[in-house]
Structure 1
C-alpha cells in the first residue's frame, strides 16, 4: 500500500500540516525539520498525489503545447525552449501534435481544459477566437505561438513571416534568378500565406521576375519531393531557375527529388532556399540556405507571457512579440 502524508508525518514526528509545508512551502519550515521529513519520505518511498493537489488548487502545474508537426525539428526546438523556461517555474509541458488538422487541435484543447492546465501554448490550425476566449474565461490563458495576431485579446510570439518571405526571394533575385517557384503547404496555414505574400512583394519589385506557386498537401519532406518530381518532369525550357520552399522540410524534399532524378543540379540549374534553418539544413548533401527563426527563444518567451498573465490576472495587458528573421546563405544558393 502506498505511503500517505500521515505516514510521513508519523515517521518524522511532525504534523500533517508541517509535511504539507515541506512539500509546498519549504521556506516556512526550519532546515532541521525539512531534513527529517525528507528522510521519512525517502524511507517510505512516498509519492505525492498530484491529482488531489491539482483539484485543491484548481489547476495543474502543466502547460499544454499544441504544434502543427512535431516531426518538424523547428517545433521540437520551440518545445525545448518552452520546457526550459517552464522548468525554471516548476512547471512541466504536455506536448501535442495537431498534424495540421483542425479536429485534432480541437481535441487537444478539450483535453487540456479537462486537465486544468496552467495555460496553453498554441500554434493554431483552426481554433477560433471565441474558443480561446472561452478557455480564458474558464481560467486557462492561451498564448499563440509562431502566429502573429493583431488582436489585443491574446498574447502571441511569432516571427515576421512576410519579411522572411521577402528576404528569401530578394536573395534569389540578388543572385540573378528570375523564374522563381514558391513551394508551400496548405494555404489555410497562416505562416504559408505570409511567406508567400513576402515572396510576391519581392518579385513585384523586379520587372522581369516571375513567381509560380505550387501548394502541396502538407509541409513535409515527402510533399517537397513530390513538388521536386513535378519540376523535374518538365522540359528544361519550362523549369524555374530558383525555388523558395515554405519550410526546410519541403526544401529537403525538393533537393532529394533533384538528386535522385539527376536532371537538375543545385545551385547550378536551380537555386534553392528553405525556411526555419533546422539543423538538418547544414548536413544535407548540398547545404541549404534558409531563413532562420529563433525557435528556442519563441518557446521561452511564450511561457514567460503565460507566467505573467497568470500572475497579473485581469490587470495583464496582452503583448505581441514579433522576432525578425535572418537570412542564412549556404551552398544551395551560392553563385
Structure 2
C-alpha cells in the first residue's frame, strides 16, 4: 500500500496543502481546532512525514553527527550521552558513529553525514581532519573537535590538557616514592596517548634517579592491558616497574587483572597503578583505581553548544576550550586512600 501524502491529509481534513504544511512546521500560527483536525487525519491515514524532502527544502536536517574514536570506551559513551541530552534540549537528534581508530571508517561517516545534510559534526579524529572539515564547511556543515585540538585553529575544539594529565599521574607516582615508572599505552599515533606520555616524561625529567619506560599495546582495551600485565609479571621483581601509568582506564583494569589476580604482585605495595578517564568502572574494580578524571559530560555539552552557535553564524571566531584534568586517588596507588 502506498504511503499517504500531504494531499491525502489535506483532503481528509478539508484544508489546503499549505495548512497541513503549517501544522507540520509552524503549528503556532494555525487555529487549534484546525491543528486538531489535521492531526486526526494524519493518524487515520498513518501519515509519516517525508523528512528527506523537508531536508532538501531547508538545506539541512535537525540532526547532528558525532564520531568517536572508540565505542567500547565508556568515556566516549558518557560524552555521547551528554551530547545527545544537550542536542535534544535544542530540538536536535544525534547520529553516533564509531571510527574504531580507523581512518577509512571515519571518512565513511563523514561522507554519510554530508549526504544526510546534518546541521553539524562533532568529531574525535583519528588524524588531522582539517582538509575534510573545510570541505564540509564549504557545504554549510559546521564542525567542532572533541577530546582533541586540531593543528588548524580555524576549527573550534573542546578538549582536556592531556599533557597536564600525564604530568599529574607521574607526579603522584613519584611523590609516592616510585622511581621505576612504566607507561602502558598505544598506539602512540593517537594524539591523546602521545600527549599523556609526553606529560609523564616531562615530570620524570624533573626528578633525578627516576626513569620511565614505554610498554606498548596495540589497542586501548582491557585485553591488551591484561597481556601487558602478564608480561610484566614474568620479569624478575627487580626489573619490574614499581609505578605504572596506563593510557586509559580500560588498559588499567586489564593491568590489574594481569598483575594482581594471579597473586604474584600486590597492588599498590609492589606496583602502584594509575589510569586515565575515571570511568564508572574505575571505582568499582577489584582494587579501586586511581585515575586522571576527564569531564566527559562537560566536553559533550560544550561541544554541542559551540557547534549549534557556529551552525547559526558561520562567521563566529573559532573557540578552543581546554579543560584541566583532576587526579582522583584510590587504593591502586595509595594504601591510605579512602576510596
TM-score normalised by the chain length of structure 1: 0.96
Equivalent pair of 1:105/1:127 in contact (CA under 8 Å): no
- The reply on whether 1:244 has 2:239 as its aligned counterpart is no
User: Which string of whole-angstrom CA distances, capped at 9 and with x for unpartnered residues, describes residues 51-92 of structure 1?
Assistant: 111122222222111111101110011110111111112211
**How many residue pairs end up in the alignment?**
334
Task: Identify which range, 147-156 or 162-171, moves more after superposition.
Answer: 147-156
Where do 1:306-321 residues align within 5 Å?
Answer: 306-313=307-314, 315-321=315-321
Query: Within 1, Cα distance between the matches of 2:28 and 2:319?
Result: 33
Is residue 332 from structure 1 mapped to residue 332 from structure 2 by the alignment?
A: yes
Moved over 6 A (4+): none
Q: Does 1:230 align with 2:231?
A: yes
Deviations along 1:221-245, one digit per CA (max 9) or x if unpaired, are: 1111111111111001101111000
Counterpart position of 1:322? 322
Output aligned runs, 1:7-156, within 5 Å. Answer: 7-149=8-150, 151-156=152-157
Mapped partners of 1:181, 1:169: distance in 2: 9
- Rounded to whole Å, the distance in 1 between the matches of 2:145 and 2:138 is 17
Contact 2:128 2:150 in 1 (8 A): no
Distance 1:174 1:36 in 2: 72
Q: Which runs of 5+ in 2 are unaligned?
A: none
Structure 2 SS opposite 1:206: coil
Contact 2:226–2:254 (CA under 8 A) maintained in structure 1: yes
Alpha-carbon distance between aligned partners in 2 of 1:33 and 1:236, rounded to the nearest angstrom: 80
Kindly state the Cα deviation for residue 127 of structure 1 after the two structures are TM-superposed.
4.3
1:150 shift after superposition: 5.4
CA distance in 2, matches of 1:125, 1:324: 22
Distance 2:259 2:115 in 1: 47
Deviation at 1:37? 2.0
3-state SS of 1:182 partner? strand
Structure 1: state its 5+ residue gaps. Answer: none
CA RMSD of superposed structures (Å): 1.3
TM-score w.r.t. length of structure 2: 0.95
What SS class does the counterpart of residue 197 from structure 2 fall into? helix
Answer yes or no: is the 8 Å Cα contact 2:128–2:151 preserved in 1: no
Deviates more, 1:240-249 or 1:19-28: 19-28
Give the distance between the partners of 2:94 and 2:40, measured in 1 at CA. 29
Paired residues of 1:160 and 1:322 also in contact (CA < 8 A): yes
Given that residues 130 and 150 in structure 2 are in contact (C-alpha distance below 8 angstroms), is that contact kept between their aligned partners in structure 1? Answer: no
Q: CA deviation at 1:259?
A: 2.6
Alignment partners' CA distance in 1, 2:33 and 2:297 = 40
Q: 2:272 aligns to what? A: 271
